[in-house]
Each structure stands twice: as C-alpha cells, then as structure tokens.
Amino acid sequence: MNAVLRLEQATKCYGRHKALDQVTCEIPAGVVFALLGENGAGKSTAIKALLGLIQLDGGRAEVLGLDSRHDGAQIRRRVGYVPERPTLYDWMTVGEIGWFTAGFYDDCFLPRYQQLAGQFQLPLDRPIQALSKGMRAKVSLSLALANDPELLVLDEPTSGLDTLVRREFLESMVDRAATGRTVFLSSHQITEVERVADIVAIMHGGRLIVVERLEKLKAEVQELTITLADASAEPPLVSGELLRQRRRSRQWQILVRRADEASLQALQGDPVVSSVESRTPSLEEIFVGYLKQGEGAAAETRRDENHVESRSLS
C-alpha cells in the first residue's frame, strides 16, 4: 500500500537546536495516526514540513505522493488542516468565512460547511471575534472537514472543546478512517488518543523513538511488579527493552517491552523473589516510559560528546 505520508531522514534546525533529527516514517491510508510528544518535541515542525509550510534542511517529505518542498500549495488544497492556534478573519461572521473559503474549492464545499456548522451548533450570523475559544475551534474544524479531504491533519484539535463534543468528534475520526480516509492527529490528550488511534508515534527531542500499531505496542509492553524477599537485594535481570524501573522498599516496578519468556519464568523460581505480578500498562504509562528512556539516552550522548570535546581540548 502506498504511503499517504512519508518522511525520509527529515532534518530541521533552528540555530543549534534540532527540531527534527533524521526522522523517518511512513503512514498508510485508512488509519488514525497519532503523533505524541512533550512540548518542543518536534510535532508541529513535522506537520509544517509535510504541508510545505517550512522547508527541511535535509531529507524529504511527501504527502499523497507529492513532494512537500515543491508542491506545498497543491498538498494544502487536498488536505484538511487545523493548526494548534488557527488564524481566522475575526471581522467575518461564521457564515461569511465559509462562503469566502468556498471560493477555493468545488461547489460542494459551502453546503457541507453549513451542515457541519449546524452539527457544531455554530450561529452563522455571529462575528468570529465574538466566539469563545471552543467555538472558534469548531469553526476551524468545519472549514477543514468541508472539503471532505483525503487526509485530515489536526494539531491539538480538541483544545477548547467540551467533553461531549470532544468525544463525539474523535469517534467520528474513527468512522472517517473506516471509509479509507487518513487522520493525522497530534495531541496531548493521550487517554483520548488511546481510544481512537490505529498507529502511534512518539517523538522526543526531535527524534522519532517509536512508531507502532497501538494494538501491537500494548501487547508487547508489560509492567512487572517484583517483590523481593530481602529489601537489600537487587532484582534479577529481565531480558527485553527496558523502558523504566523504580523501587519502592522491597518492590521493583519494571516497564519492559518484548520481555523474554524464559527470563520471566526464571523470575518465578529465583530465591530472592517473593512474587511477580504483570499487567498491561496504559498508553500514557508507555509514553512516559519511552520519554524517560529517551532522556537517559540523551544524557548519555551528552556525556559522550563532552568527553570527546574535553579530550580534543587537552
């Protein structure tokens, strides 16, 4: 299946800061793709690069088979996009901004926009400057959806929406993906993302540290609670990708991905282990685990760089 979105070794720097650092991924059609990361992780930069709003310093970005560097205007005509802070013409009414935007699309745009505005209970005669933050978000969503785009890109789309509208909107994104459309969702609302996402990516410090189908990710990650017979003893090693571990008296909590079954069996028979409990963590817990792992790797890299620099100076 051809990728709807593609980044290949994408790099973007602002001064000495790397907003994107060799980011590579492909997203197929008909999925809800969620990009997660803390503030400054590079999520919005990746979105802007894909839409041709900024130019990469290195690598390549493609959307719907078009090169983001050269075909940005064409991409934006085919994509529905809601930025984190939408810019609207405040002096227009809700109805007027729909009529104005319809001039860039086919004849179906305006009727669909008016239908969506009705579903969101937006008053067509009210000036945008008189709207609340939540209602402005609904205007932006209506404009993005009215063209029935092949790809919908949403950067923090539910900010300002009340709980019921937020839930209904996200559920509609699942229905949209079921028709073969693709939804790219960047959000801090990890609990909401967990309900709707097919594929999850986690960014940290400009790097993409995991891209995986959510179902597979949750099946492979487990939290082990190991209770030791002796509080001074160290827990036996568990083979797998260690995301996080912490100690509470005689208990160790270990978040691990792809734990080796043989090492788990060995834990049960280890004389220093009183008991082992396992559970499937939430996406938020997995997210935090990967961030902690990323912070540790970044700190190790900085130590190595400082060591090399100090050697070169000496």
User: DSSP string of 51-77?
Assistant: TTSS--SEEEEEETTEETTT-HHHHHH
| 64-68, 162-166, 175-179, 223-227, range with the lowest pLDDT | 162-166
Mean pLDDT of the chain: 86
Q: How many domains does one find in the chain?
A: 2
Residues 236-258: tens digit of each pLDDT: 778 889 898 888 888 888 999 99
| 20-29, 30-39, 268-277, 288-297, range with the lowest pLDDT | 288-297
Q: Do 19 and 13 form a contact (C-beta atoms < 8 A)?
A: yes
**Model confidence band, residue 157 (pLDDT cutoffs 50, 70, 90):** low
- The domain boundary, picked from 205, 238, 263, lies at 205
Residues 175 and 266 in one domain: no
Residue 264 lies in a domain: yes
**Model confidence band, residue 5 (pLDDT cutoffs 50, 70, 90):** very high
Residue 119 lies in a domain: yes
**Model confidence band, residue 32 (pLDDT cutoffs 50, 70, 90):** very high
Question: Which of 58-62, 80-84, 102-106 ranks highest by mean pLDDT?
Answer: 58-62
Residues 43 and 147 in one domain: yes
Residue 224 lies in a domain: yes
Residues 136 and 263 in one domain: no
Q: What is the rounded CA–CA span in Å between residue 114 and residue 262?
A: 60
Residues 229 and 143 in one domain: no
- What pLDDT does residue 50 have? 95
Nearest to 151 by CA among 81, 55, 68: 81
Nearest to 47 by CA among 15, 87, 75, 17: 75
Higher model confidence: residue 42 or residue 301?
Answer: 42
The 10 Å Cβ neighbour count of residue 284 is 14
Task: Please determine, for residue 164, whether its predicted confidence score (pLDDT) is greater than 90.
Answer: no
Residues 103 and 126 in one domain: yes
Residues 15 and 114 in one domain: yes
Q: What is the rounded CA–CA span in Å between residue 109 and residue 299?
A: 50
- What pLDDT does residue 312 have? 43
Residues 67 and 107 in one domain: yes
CATH number, domain at 41?
Answer: 3.40.50.300
What average pLDDT does the segment 195-215 reach? 93
What average pLDDT does the segment 66-82 reach? 92
Q: What is the DSSP letter of 231?
A: T
226 CB-near residues (< 8 Å, 6+ apart) = 235, 236, 251, 252, 253, 254, 267, 273, 275, 276
Residue 305 lies in a domain: no
- The domain boundary, picked from 205, 227, 260, lies at 205
Residues 229 and 117 in one domain: no
Residues 248 and 198 in one domain: no
**Model confidence band, residue 72 (pLDDT cutoffs 50, 70, 90):** very high
Residue 185 lies in a domain: yes
Higher model confidence: residue 200 or residue 188?
Answer: 200
Task: Please determine, for residue 79, whether its predicted confidence score (pLDDT) is greater than 80.
Answer: yes
Full residue range of the structural domain in which residue 248 is found? 219-297
**Model confidence band, residue 220 (pLDDT cutoffs 50, 70, 90):** very high
Residues 34-48: tens digit of each pLDDT: 999 888 889 999 999
**Model confidence band, residue 152 (pLDDT cutoffs 50, 70, 90):** very high
Residue 27 lies in a domain: yes
